[in-house]
Structure 1
Amino acid sequence: MSMFLTFIAGVALMAALFALGQRLRGFQAQKPADYANLEPRVDIRQHLSGPIRCEGVIYGPMGRVTSRFTADMEGRWDGNRGVLAEHFTYDSGTKQNREWRLTLGNDGRITAEADDLVGKGGGQQEGAALHLNYTIRLPESAGGHALQVTDWMYLIDDKTIVNRSQFRKFGIKVAELVATMRKLDA
């Protein structure tokens, strides 16, 4: 009987450690459904449309700020297909441009393409949140590495989105970005 109890205790311990591991994964463990009942509801055709001003910071693997940036963005939509043009200026003086080509499905699923992505990205908008996963190739000046990115954008009000992104290489977090995106009056 004691062998059976030891087995049950071991299974219970493994289950508890698994649950703790899921909680510690935090950022990666989120799901769009976690935000399904939150208001206001995000609609990328509305909230990533027109002129947008973005300010943010990038943290390195040790949690220190490694870069600060501003970006001017412009979103244009034709039905469920849109383009989001981004023009970044980093505190180092470096400039970077990216053009996202986005498609929104009737179920809230998002397909994302950009010239510096490896393949296509995908995600979901639900409730007050937007989630995207993709692989980005850094410029050669930054090492040319391909990083797996998890983006979460949280709609605060009709004009403000908070963006948090984690960048991973071989599953290890190498950078994190936190930014505020504010729609400007057209």
Structure 2
Amino acid sequence: MTALAYMLLGAAIVLGLFLILARVASFAAQRPEDYAGTGPAFDLRTHLDGPIRCEGVIYGPLGRVASRFTGDFEGRWDGNRGVMTEHFQYDSGNTQDREWRLELGNDGQVRAEADDLVGTGSGRQSGASLRLCYNIRLPKEAGGHVLSVTDWMYVTPGGVVVNRSQFRKFGIKVAELVATLQKVKA
């Protein structure tokens, strides 16, 4: 075997180990079932209902803070169907308005639609968590790219929801978001 063949074989082995590690011990390796029986139980109809205040940070591909934001949300539910409107204010001065249309199945499955999604998002509530996966099209001023997103939301014992999202392009993480969502007291 030549030196080039050994080098290519070594690179293939390292890549293979990296991919296995990413599937077994990373953000993507979590499953909703991992949180079954944890509490308090996450229920979209309870935790994302009424006025909600959001505060968060977006990290770029190198892990540095790229943006900070606040948001005012309003969740409204009719049985297992809900609408969540979101108004974001970014540290750049930009604002963004979004609307999620959500449907919760009796088995904890979640279906999600929004105008900037490509297709329909799907997820599952389990214990104190919710996982939601979808493809989002960024605004034209942000490049118009389509990114694959995995959202994980976890309910704390005090009822605050912590959201951690990863955004990927061609399987490579290009951004991460961490935010808190807290119901506004009347």
After TM superposition, the score normalised by the length of structure 2 is: 0.88
Inter-partner Cα distance in structure 2 for 1:87 and 1:38 = 31
Contact 2:162/2:180 (<8 A) preserved: yes
Aligned to 2:133: 133
Inter-partner Cα distance in structure 2 for 1:120 and 1:60 = 25
CA distances 1:89-135 after superposition (whole Å, capped 9, x unpaired): 00000000100000000000000000000010000001000000000
Q: Does 1:48 pair with 2:48? A: yes
What percent identity do the matched residue pairs reach? 67
Aligned to 1:10: none
CA distances 1:29-78 after superposition (whole Å, capped 9, x unpaired): 10000000111001000000001000000000000000000000000000
Contact 1:47/1:158 (<8 A) preserved: no
Inter-partner Cα distance in structure 2 for 1:88 and 1:20 = 35
Runs of 4+ in 1 over 2 A off after TM superposition: 17-24
Shift of 1:21: 4.5
Inter-partner Cα distance in structure 2 for 1:48 and 1:169 = 28
Q: Does 1:168 pair with 2:168? A: yes
Aligned to 1:80: 80
Contact 1:60/1:66 (<8 A) preserved: yes
Inter-partner Cα distance in structure 1 for 2:181 and 2:22 = 32
Inter-partner Cα distance in structure 1 for 2:112 and 2:157 = 24
What is the one-letter code of the residue matched to 2:134?
A: Y
Shift of 1:19: 5.7
Shift of 1:184: 1.0
* Structure 1, unpaired ranges of 5+: 1-12
Shift of 1:22: 3.0
How many residues in Structure 1 have an aligned counterpart in Structure 2? Answer: 172
* Structure 2, unpaired ranges of 5+: 1-12
Change (3 A) 1:62 1:40: same
RMSD value, Cα = 1.8
Aligned to 1:92: 92
